[in-house]
Each structure stands twice: as structure tokens, then as C-alpha cells.
Amino acid sequence: MSSIGDDVSAKLKITRGYGKLLGLPDIAHGARVVVLERIGNCEIRMFETPEASSVGAPLFWMELFDLNTLSSLDSGGCYDVGAAVTAFEAFASQARHLNECSRCADSGKED
């Protein structure tokens, strides 16, 4: 469960991130990407796909990205800021959990 302050913070990060995303130059291959937050070895990213300008397509996608494995752990299309806040909070929770599990596993290793 998130607090009102967390919701405002997430909404602000998303709004700023979307502004940055729109300000990036178009690239020939791939998608424009903005990192919204880094938590441990994970990043919460916002990106635009070529389909973003199509009718019925999400405004942007958000992704939880693992920097250790260089792979996406979760992602989803966001049609509005409310959906993006929900995704951001879920991804942040997943990242914190993964970070805690990683620390627990590291502390169990013998030197």
C-alpha cells in the first residue's frame, strides 16, 4: 500500500520522465528510453515504441530491468498517468524485494 506522498512522488517522476522522453530525438532503430529510478540492481524505465503514435496504443511502456542479467523482469503499456503510477509502484516493490533477497543470499555466503 502506498502513501499519498509516494503517489505524488511517483506521479512527478513519471510526468518528468515523459517530458524527457518526448524531448529525446527520434532514433532510427529501437525506442527512446528514460530511466525513472534505480533500486539496487534494477531500473524502472519508461520507453516509447514506434506504435505509440497509433490510435489505441499506449502512451508509453514501463519496464523493470535487471542490470545484472541485462533483461526485462516485467513491463506493461500505460495509457495514462494513473496506470503508470500503479506500474511504477509495483515495479519499485518488486525491485526492493529482489534487492532484499539478493542481500540475504549474499550474507549467507562464506568467505
Q: What is the pLDDT of residues 29-52, one digit of tens each?
A: 777 899 999 999 999 999 987 666
Please tell me what DSSP assigns to residue 50: G
Residue 109 — left, alpha, or beta (φ > 0 → left; ψ -120 to 50 → alpha)? beta
Tell the burial category of 62 from Cβ atoms under 10 Å away from its Cβ (0-12, 13-18, 19+).
Answer: buried
CA distance 21 to 17: 6
pTM: 0.81
CA distance 80 to 89: 15
List pLDDT tens digits, range 57-77: 899 999 999 999 999 999 999
Residue partners of 22: CB distance under 8 A and separation at least 6: none
